[in-house]
Structure 1
Amino acid sequence: MSVEVLDGATIFNFVEDEEAFSLSIRDRFAHLDTNHDGLLSYAEMLKELQSLRVFETHYGIDVKPDPEEIAHVYDSLFVQFDHDSNGAVDLEEFKAETKRMMLAMANGMGFLPVQMVLEEDSYLKKAVEKEYSSTKVKQLIN
């Protein structure tokens, strides 16, 4: 984990960079697709959602969540990704929904910089790294 400064523009620029965003999506998808069938099952997506521990902590303190409520939230998230309702998420569905979620996050953040703790392999961390490398290239050119 690291503490980074970012704003909505950082996320927008990352998502709009088709090459960088697509590469990140393909990497994450391949990591999640444990049986290598080109689709993410509910079980494969569930492992990723559970690893985030979003529902098990509140302000950094472990809490005992209601298992039925958590199952409902995970089911709803999976349905968001499974656009064609075939019970699996393909790469394009994964990319489209991830893009939609990231753009919603960027819109919610606005353009005032905020400081956040980011996981090393998160999309937000990749967005910050892309912005940083772009800034360094511009500085070298000038």
Structure 2
Amino acid sequence: MLNRNEITTRRVATSRLQRKSSKEGEGEEQRRAKMSVELVDGATIRDFVEDETSFNDSVEGRFAALDVNRDGVLSYGEMVQELASLRLLETHFCLDEEETEAEEELRRLHGSVFAKFDRDGSGAVDLEEYRTETREMLLAVAKGLGFLPVQMVLEEGSLLKMAADRESKLLTA
């Protein structure tokens, strides 16, 4: 099992490699396409959520990126890409009719997750609904991970990646 210093060393090395490969002026799609391997445990996520400034800034940034039409709420259509990144259902080597069934199941799952975010049932998710549900989801992930570090592949710009980056900065400061 890795100790905290080994976790920090691996995160810092990963972070340095990413900074070297990062270019200024990249679009959102290019940044989201980048992924890195990070070590994350429940404390990493819990501490991120409890740091109100970091958490709120990160959530507001993700919300703004998803709010394509800038109307201050997220429609189902605007959240589809974010929901797809959750990878609720993976299908491989499907036959055509099974693939259609899997796509329908995925639409139902996405609808169900969207409904959790849309707490007031208005058909749109405002910033507070997004923040509240995101906090609950991240805390559930933290509880599930517990205290043992898990190696995860995280997308640049994801809240889990932001949590790992925050911890790396704190541990190297």
Q: TM-score, normalised by structure 1?
A: 0.87
Describe the SS at the equivalent of 1:5: strand
By percentage of residues, which structure has more helix? 2
Contact 1:32 1:40 in 2 (8 A): yes
Normalising by structure 2, we get a TM-score of 0.72
Which letter does structure 1 place at the counterpart of 2:121?
S
Identity %: 51
Q: Counterpart in 1 of 2:156?
A: 120
User: What is the aligned-residue RMSD (CA, Å)?
Assistant: 1.6
Asked which structure has the greater CA Rg, the reply is: 2
Q: How far 1:47 moved relative to its partner?
A: 2.8
Cα contact 1:56–1:62 (8 A) shared by 2: no
2:54 matches 1:20: yes
Name the counterpart of 2:83.
49
Q: CA deviation at 1:48?
A: 2.2
Cα distance in structure 2, aligned partners of 1:16 and 1:68:
37
Preserved CA contact (<8 Å) 1:39 1:90: yes
**Structure 2: any 5+ residue segments left out of the alignment?**
1-34
Whether contact under 8 Å (2:39, 2:149) holds in the other structure is yes
Provide the aligned length of Structure 1 versus Structure 2.
134
Could you tell me which runs of 5 or more consecutive residues in structure 1 were left unpaired when the two chains were aligned.
138-142
Could you tell me how far 1:122 is from its partner in structure 2? Answer: 1.1
Q: State the 1:67 CA deviation.
A: 2.1
List 4+ stretches of structure 1 deviating above 2 A: 55-58, 61-65
